[in-house]
A and B are shown apart, each in its own frame.
Chain A
């Protein structure tokens, strides 16, 4: 448990970075500090491992005032991940990860074997261990940064905008990985970002900071979307918050209807289409795209996989494979982004199981609201 008690940070020039912050970070789970630049979120994070000392108030780590700890010793017990990874250019990947175990007096051999385990844990191939940071991609460097922070198995992990310098696809990958790691390791993670979508995706609890270093709202993400405390939070959370809040509602209640399918490479006639459209599937029944009546009439009778209309997003329903079901947001997006207005529902193996329409999703939302499942 990390407790901020009336914490203030004022710089000699009078700038107040953090203003009278009271906040408790519970053990376990990811707590996200989010806000525009200049809101004091990074300063607050860096005060936890004493990279910055507050000018007022105090911070307790498991009930103990952190000012009583020697900063270097305190920091060795707290993992630290920063924006550009900050790997040591002159050390190999393996030795970078072994840094803290070596500092705490482990033998080189023990530290390196621990580092090897961690590279595996963050999903890096063993052949990268002997490389130098400059030889890695940004995403790989960030993984090494996470592995390095976890090397001494600290109970607390501080992450300062760790994924903001990588491209969106890699970022999505890293976010998924962090969630997976967290489900295995159950650390107390404090995560700073300026990206509200990232905050909502990763956070078990989200603290929204406003400019001037004041806490605007501290809540779980669905409550943040449903009930912003004031206009600042509401505008920061963004204009699509009603739509994005659907991401927290399970789509289990949405009926999956039938959808017309035709197999790529095989003969098909206009009779097989439904409302002028059908999903073209491969041999494993996985969707390849859409075919319309008009398009089919130009195809000499057989479905040409190279000439399909590309489909929208896919909506995964819970299946025997045991994967998690999609949210109402996934279902609605699948329907809205589909050229035929029917969203493709797939099972855990990626095979088409049916279709959903926007009407059925909205009907399911209304049902959920009546049943009191939607936070008002």
Chain B
């Protein structure tokens, strides 16, 4: 373990195109691209399904189905079938990131107080306005929760980039493995890479927590922690709009 930290803090490993700063930047780039694309797909999809209540089966199906895919296998398959480079990696990571964001957005929108949604319609808001001004602001804690889960998983999994000759912190793990047990660049390098991934994940977690504090309304934040657990367990209330008294 000491040799791992020695390797990690060795100044020689903190400069140049194969040093930690460059690898961290690569790692964050892969993560950022994947999470942003996943969010661009999953947030609107989850929001519309949650708002309309139509296509609920998609959420469960997609979430479970995509979660069952092994990322490394998928990446290898994509590389073998088609291209080498960034695209197969990003596709694999996007597929990994979609389920938590989709589930978070869907349940966030679905679990907004039905009385508030009913009142919003009853006061004359149109559907898209209800979604944008009432449902999404109240769903934010769960949406950001989904983004956090997705980011963590993608950061951890982006190490597989090195497997297909790309960069990122996975480089240290793969190279260390290749260098073998006896080499000073062997296991210490692998462990140093793993530690860097873990620290990066914690830092991103902290950053997203900060974002949550900044963008979520105090009125929702105060109650969300206590109610989140309950809301997730509760079955969505039946829609008031088309129900007999």
How many chain-A residues does the 8 Å CB contact rule pick out?
A: 44
B81 at the interface (CB under 8 A from A): no
Mostly, the B contact residues are helix
**Also in contact, A75 and B245, with CB within 8 A (given A90-B220, A132-B218):** no
Which one, B125, B218, B222, contacts A103 given CB within 8 A? B125
Q: Which of chain A's residues have a CB closer than 8 A to the CB of B222?
A: 132, 134-135
Which one, A17, A41, A88, A145, contacts B120 given CB within 8 A? A88
Tell me whether B118 and A82 are in contact (CB under 8 A): yes
Nearest Cβ distance between residue B97 and chain A, in whole angstroms?
26
Tell me whether A75 and B122 are in contact (CB under 8 A): yes
Q: Which residues from 66 to 80 on chain A have a C-beta closer than 8 Å to any C-beta of chain B?
A: 71-77, 80
B219 at the interface (CB under 8 A from A): yes
A92 at the interface (CB under 8 A from B): yes
Tell me whether B121 and A40 are in contact (CB under 8 A): no
B73 at the interface (CB under 8 A from A): no
Tell me whether B244 and A86 are in contact (CB under 8 A): no
Q: How far is the CA of A43 from the CA of B242 in the complex (A)?
A: 9
Tell me whether B244 and A49 are in contact (CB under 8 A): no
**Also in contact, A76 and B245, with CB within 8 A (given A89-B116, A89-B219):** no
B134 at the interface (CB under 8 A from A): yes
Tell me whether B124 and A134 are in contact (CB under 8 A): no
Q: How far is the CA of A306 from the CA of B232 in the complex (A)?
A: 53
A319 at the interface (CB under 8 A from B): no
B123 at the interface (CB under 8 A from A): yes
Q: Which residues from 49 to 101 on chain A have a C-beta closer than 8 Å to any C-beta of chain B?
A: 49, 51-52, 71-77, 80, 82-92, 99-100
**Also in contact, A88 and B116, with CB within 8 A (given A75-B122, A82-B122, A148-B123):** yes
B137 at the interface (CB under 8 A from A): yes
B68 at the interface (CB under 8 A from A): no
A11 at the interface (CB under 8 A from B): yes
Interface CB pairs A-B, < 8 A, 8: A15-B244, A38-B244, A52-B241, A74-B124, A82-B119, A86-B113, A90-B217, A132-B219
Which 3 A-B residue pairs are closest in the complex by CB-CB distance?
A132-B219, A86-B119, A76-B124
Interface residues of B (CB under 8 A from A): 113, 115-126, 129, 134, 137-138, 217-220, 222-223, 241-242, 244-245
Q: Knowing that A76-B124, A90-B137 are A-B contacts, what are 18 other residue pairs whose CB atoms are under 8 Å apart, sorted by A's residue number?
A: A38-B245, A51-B118, A52-B242, A72-B125, A80-B119, A80-B123, A82-B118, A83-B115, A84-B115, A88-B134, A89-B217, A90-B220, A91-B219, A92-B219, A100-B123, A132-B218, A134-B222, A148-B119
